[in-house]
Each structure stands twice: as structure tokens, then as C-alpha cells.
């Protein structure tokens, strides 16, 4: 099962949710793959990959015909594998348009890889670019992180319409796994009101579990650690652990069968974290 994290806005918690949810699922014993499609590579860096070791990345897979399994690497968490992003993804947009079926490159690249995993999460850039289109074409479902603040409703509406248009154009089947409220701050009136408005309008399309503002979530990436390694007792860790349970329940209840339990990743032995970064910094 493949789920893309999408939003036209930056800074809404896409990357934090992709990394933390992937880590929670891996810690719960699910074989999980995180794919970083943002040229800023925040998800990859958050997991402790040094900037100079980001290659091979999704850019090599999308543009240079590198088999996706060759670009996958292990992380410090046993069940979590990672396909990094790199800065040259920035050029992908332009180069992709020169290729046949440019919106289906990722889907095709993942055919051999994702069956090895129960769950694949894709962290997207903050645009509805061709890269995000590739993610939505490849995905079974998408998650939409939203900060309940001014104009949040418009953003959600806008994105859902964008995905609907894309469905027409490319025949994508990605369904809404749910809207996730992130950085919820009940100390402000606006925070309270906007969270309530989103829930009133979108009902059970909004995850019951919400992620409140928690400084530990903002600190963990700087150390190259997931929230569970950095501070397992934080409210952020607890929120993402609960979110992972709701995620599993929702995506299965949605009629998406969870992947069959099978042997571990076929090429697990081949996955090597480059050089000495195997355990990430400060472990």
C-alpha cells in the first residue's frame, strides 16, 4: 500500500508526518519504505543521512533509469528503509516533460520494489508539480496535513479539487486516507476555531488523532533522529504512535487490503547505508 503526503503549502507538517508515521509503523513491526520526493531532502536529512551522502536518490530513479531497489537504503530503525531525495530533483521537473508518460515514471519505477513493503509513504514537495503528480499516480491513497489556521479550509478545498482534476486527466486512483490536523494549538482562539471548523466540514475524513504543537518534534530532525529515538515520551511521539494505529485501521477499513505478510525485503542484504553513517549520528 502506497500513501503520498501532499499539500500545496509548505510548513504544514508533511515531512514531520511522513518521517514520524513511517517510524511509528516500522517500530510496530511493519515493513515500511519512506520515499523522499522533495528536492530539499528534509525527510532524508531528518533520518540522519548526511547531505553529501544523499545520492543515489529518487532523481537517479526518475531520470537515470536506476532501478529503485538500488537506491534504497536501510535506516537506524530495523523495519524502515529509505529512498532519499537530492537537490538535483529540482531539475527533474523540466527533464521529465521531455520523456514519454512523464506522470507515470515513479509508478513504473516502484512496480518491483513496493510489494516488498507493507507500507510505503511518499513525502512530496509543497507544489502540485509533475513530481507530486507522479506520487499521486503511484499511490493508492493520500494524506493531507493541515495546520488549523487562517485560510486552512480554502487550502484543503483547493487541494482536493486539484486531485480530482488529476484523477480525470491521468486516471489516478489515489483516495483520501484522511486529513491530519498538525501543529494544533488550543491556546489560541483561532487554533481552536479552525480545528473545529475543519472537523465540522470534513467530518470523518479528518483523522480523529491530531498532532499538537510540540517543540520536541521540531528538535528531533536537527539530530537526525526520529521523535521515538529523540524523546519517546513526548506528546509528539505519543500522537504519531496513535496516528499510526488510526492510519492502519483507516487504510484497511477503506477496503485497501494490507500487504500480505511475506519474507522480508528481497534484497535486504544488499541494502547498505553508505560508509559510516549506518547508525546515523549520535546514536
- Residues engaged in binding ligand ADP (CB under 6 A): 7, 10-16, 42, 126, 182-183, 211, 213-214, 217-218, 221, 236
Q: What is the maximum span of the chain, computed from C-alpha positions, in angstroms?
A: 52
Residue 47: what are its φ and ψ, rounded to 5°? -90, 10
Cis ω before 242 (30° cut-off from 0):
no
User: Nearest approach, Cβ of 173 to ligand ADP (angstroms)?
Assistant: 24
7/84 with CB nearer ligand ADP: 7
Out of 1, 8, 12, 14, point to the residue binding Mg ion (CB under 5 A): 14
- In whole angstroms, what is the distance from residue 216 CA to residue 234 CA? 7
Out of Mg ion, ligand ADP, none, what residue 13 binds, judged by CB under 5 to 8 A for its kind, is: ligand ADP
Whole-number minimum distance, CB 229 to ligand ADP, in Å?
A: 15
* Residue 32 sits in the site that holds Mg ion (CB under 5 A): no
Joined together, the cell numbers standing for residue 199 give 472537523
Q: How far is the CB of 47 from ligand ADP (least distance, A)?
A: 13
- Three cell numbers written together for 22: 513511517
Residue 182 to residue 228: CA distance in whole angstroms: 17
Q: How far is the CB of 256 from ligand ADP (least distance, A)?
A: 24
Binder to Mg ion among 15, 46, 79, 182 (CB under 5 A)? 15
Dig out the grid coordinates for 42 from the structure. Answer: 528534509
Task: Output 33 or 43, the one with its CB closest to Mg ion.
Answer: 43
Q: Residue 144: what are its φ and ψ, rounded to 5°?
A: -120, 100
Count Cβ atoms below 10 Å from residue 60 Cβ, excluding itself.
Answer: 20
214 binding partner (options ligand ADP, Mg ion, none; Cβ < 5 to 8 Å by kind): ligand ADP
Q: Which residues contribute to the site for Mg ion (CB under 5 A)?
A: 14-15, 42
Amino acid at each position: 500500500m502506497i500513501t503520498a503526503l501532499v499539500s500545496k503549502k509548505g510548513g504544514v507538517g508533511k515531512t514531520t508526518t511522513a518521517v514520524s508515521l513511517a517510524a511509528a509503523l516500522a517500530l510496530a513491526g511493519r515493513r515500511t519504505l519512506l520515499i523522499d520526493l522533495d528536492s530539499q531532502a528534509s525527510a532524508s536529512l531528518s533520518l540522519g543521512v548526511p547531505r553529501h551522502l544523499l545520492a543515489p536518490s529518487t532523481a537517479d530513479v526518475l531520470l537515470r533509469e536506476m532501478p529503485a531497489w538500488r537506491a534504497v537504503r536501510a535506516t537506524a530503525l530495523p523495519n524502515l528503509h529509505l529512498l532519499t531525495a537530492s537537490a538535483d530533483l529540482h531539475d527533474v521537473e523540466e527533464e521529465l516533460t521531455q520523456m514519454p508518460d512523464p506522470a507515470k515514471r515513479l509508478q513504473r519505477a516502484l512496480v518491483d520494489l513496493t510489494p516488498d513493503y507493507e507500507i510505503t509513504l511518499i513525502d512530496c514537495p509543497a507544489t502540485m508539480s509533475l513530481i507530486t503528480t507522479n506520487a499521486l499516480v503511484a499511490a493508492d491513497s493520500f494524506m493531507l496535513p493541515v495546520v488549523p489556521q487562517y485560510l486552512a479550509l480554502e487550502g484543503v478545498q483547493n487541494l482536493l479539487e486539484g486531485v480530482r482534476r488529476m484523477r480525470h486527466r491521468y486516471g489516478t486512483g489515489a483516495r483520501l486516507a484522511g486529513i491530519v490536523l498538525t501543529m494544533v494549538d488550543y491556546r489560541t482562539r483561532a487554533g481552536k476555531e479552525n480545528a473545529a471548523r475543519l472537523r465540522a466540514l470534513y467530518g470523518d475524513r479528518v483523522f480523529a488523532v491530531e498532532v499538537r504543537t510540540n517543540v520536541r518534534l521540531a528538535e528531533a530532525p536537527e539530530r537526525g533522529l526520529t521523535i521515538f529515538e529523540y524523546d519517546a515520551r513526548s506528546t509528539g511521539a505519543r500522537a504519531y504512535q496513535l496516528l499510526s494505529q488510526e492510519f492502519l485501521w483507516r487504510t484497511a477499513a477503506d477496503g485497501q487490503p494490507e500487504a500480505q505478510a511475506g519474507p522480508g525485503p528481497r534484497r535486504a542484504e544488499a541494502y547498505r547505508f553508505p560508509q559510516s553513517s549506518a547508525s546515523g549520528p549520535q546514536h
